[in-house]
């Protein structure tokens, strides 16, 4: 039977949140998305910005584009990677702790600023 402490679970949840956000949204990882997605930003007369995403290619390229353009879809696969890595390499907790702290900070900032 698999056993996980509640604090490890919280760390893994926050790390998964942050890593998923990093892959799907953050500018620093746009080079990962670029071969699979075409992002267009249109500025309307009233100053509002509208972002459209077009998935490139067919087959596996289209599949990966669909995956990384969807926060919910990516979150499933990121959680599989995070949990599997944690169980195979328990010392990876330090990396996940760093991501978890960044994730918690992002959530707090988003709550305060909105």
Query: pLDDT per residue over 18-60, tens digit each?
Result: 999 999 999 999 999 999 999 999 888 898 889 899 999 999 9
How far is 38 from 33, CA to CA, in rounded Å? 8
Provide the mean pLDDT of the chain. Answer: 93
The predicted pLDDT at position 23 comes to: 95
Given a contact cutoff of 8 angstroms between Cβ atoms, the answer to whether 47 and 101 are in contact is no
Report CA-CA distances (Å) from 35 to 25, 64, 73, 84. Answer: 15, 10, 18, 27
- Beta carbons within 8 Å of 37's beta carbon, 6+ residues apart: 53, 54, 55, 56, 65, 68, 69
Prediction pTM value: 0.86
């Amino acid at each position: 039977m698999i056993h996980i402490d509640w604090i490890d679970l919280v760390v893994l949840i926050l790390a998964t949140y942050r890593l998923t956000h990093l892959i799907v949204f953050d500018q620093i990882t746009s080079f990962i998305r670029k071969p699979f997605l075409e992002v267009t930003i249109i500025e309307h007369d009233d100053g509002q910005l509208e972002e459209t995403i077009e998935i490139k290619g067919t087959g596996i390229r289209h599949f990966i584009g669909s995956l990384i353009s969807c926060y919910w879809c990516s979150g499933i696969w990121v959680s599989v990677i995070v949990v599997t890595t944690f169980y195979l390499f328990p010392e990876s907790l330090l990396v996940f702790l760093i991501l978890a702290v960044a994730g918690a900070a992002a959530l707090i900032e988003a709550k305060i600023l909105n």
